[in-house]
Amino acid sequence: MSHDGTLSRPAIERPDSVYFFGTCLVDLFYPEAGMAGMDLLKQQGVRVVFPQGQSCCSQPAYNSGYREEALKVARAQLDYFPGDWPIVVPSGSCAGMMSKHWPDLFKGEPDEARACQVASRVWELTQFLVQVLKVKFEDQGPPVKITWHASCHAQREMGVTDEPKALLRQLANVELVELQREKECCGFGGTFAVRHPEISAAMVGDKVADIENTGAKAVVSGDCGCLMNISGALEGGKKPVRGVHIAQFLKERTHG
């Protein structure tokens, strides 16, 4: 871990195969983002394995203070990633939970070493595309103006800041306009949004206003929690801006 608490990933050799950890929100609400993520990896000639036994990184319970329950769910995941391949996650938040918090969660447990080994193989999708696969995209879509919302855990736990924007900037017809408060939390915060709905609403309200000010047609994000919150608020307020997961956006642009 680096001095500011974010993880620094040592570069690794390009693997033949990777595991894909879909996350529970992608599973239920954004499966097309998950499929797009796997397609992007396959496009690069990497074999993708999706273990059907996987469910959730355990973050909801962990953050709510129910660590025993979180441990049970996290432990259940360990069996499904037996190989040495990297585990790619289309969510900075879940990737952060697995790589940064699992070692704490399993501390003193008999399977601590195994959990740490799994945690050390976790990559956020855009981080993996840029740092390991060194992808080069060719844009096949029409001109469009978009903006990027940085998820809190991707930037502050996984240390993913430039990677997604670097990918978006590879797209020749895409104009990327930065938010004035790009780094500010959208107010989702898992159970926070239902525990403190009014504060959460005020936060996402500021985020929506910021997005509208850019004049972008779409807001791209790498986290389905943020996306559900932000695009829900955009839709709820009848704003003509679409929220889209970066995997899906990249796939749309590169597959025409």
Partner 1 sequence: MGESSINFAKASSAALQDQQLRGNFRRAMDGLMSKRAVQFADTAEWNGVRTLGASVRLRALSKLPELLEKLEANCTKNGIQVHWASTTDEANAIVLSIMQRVNAKLVVKGKSMVSEEMHLNAFLEKHGIESLESDLGEYIVQLDEAMPSHIIMPAIHMNTKQIAHLFKQKIKEAEYTEDVAQLTDLARRVLRKKFATADVGISGVNMAVAETGTLCLVENEGNGRMSTTVPPVHIAVMGLEKVVEKLEDVPPVISLLTRSATAQPITTYVNMISSPRKAGEKDGPDEIHLVILDNGRSGIYADEELRNTLRCIRCGACMNHCPVYTKVGGHAYQAPYPGPIGSILMPQVEGLETRGELPHACTMCNACVEICPVKIPIVEIMGRLRSEAVHPGDAVKGAGSHASKAETMVWKGWSMTYASPLAYQFATALLAKLGNAAPASLPLLKEWTNVRSKPRFANRTLHALAREKGIPDV
- Report the residue number, 18 or 174, with the smaller CB distance to partner 1: 18
Rule CB under 8 A: say whether 98 interacts with partner 1.
no
Rule CB under 8 A: say whether 5 interacts with partner 1.
yes
Strand (E) or helix (H) holding 241 = none
Tell me how far, at minimum, the Cβ of 174 lies from partner 1, in Å.
Answer: 26
Dist. CA 125–CA 137, nearest whole Å: 15
Q: Which CA distances in Å does 108 have to 56, 114, 121?
A: 22, 12, 20
Stretch that binds partner 1, among 106-114, 130-138, 152-160, 171-179 (CB under 8 A): 152-160
Only one residue has tokens 């998950």, namely: 34
Question: Residue 114: how many CB atoms within 10 A of its CB?
Answer: 16
Tell me how far, at minimum, the Cβ of 114 lies from partner 1, in Å.
Answer: 16
Which of the residues 112 through 151 are near partner 1 (CB under 8 A)? none
Q: Map residues 191-220 to x or -, x wherever contact with partner 1 holds by CB under 8 A.
A: -xxxxxxxxxxxxxxx--------------
Rule CB under 8 A: say whether 38 interacts with partner 1.
yes
Dist. CA 131–CA 12, nearest whole Å: 8
Rule CB under 8 A: say whether 239 interacts with partner 1.
no
Stretch that binds partner 1, among 55-63, 120-128, 140-148, 169-177 (CB under 8 A): 55-63
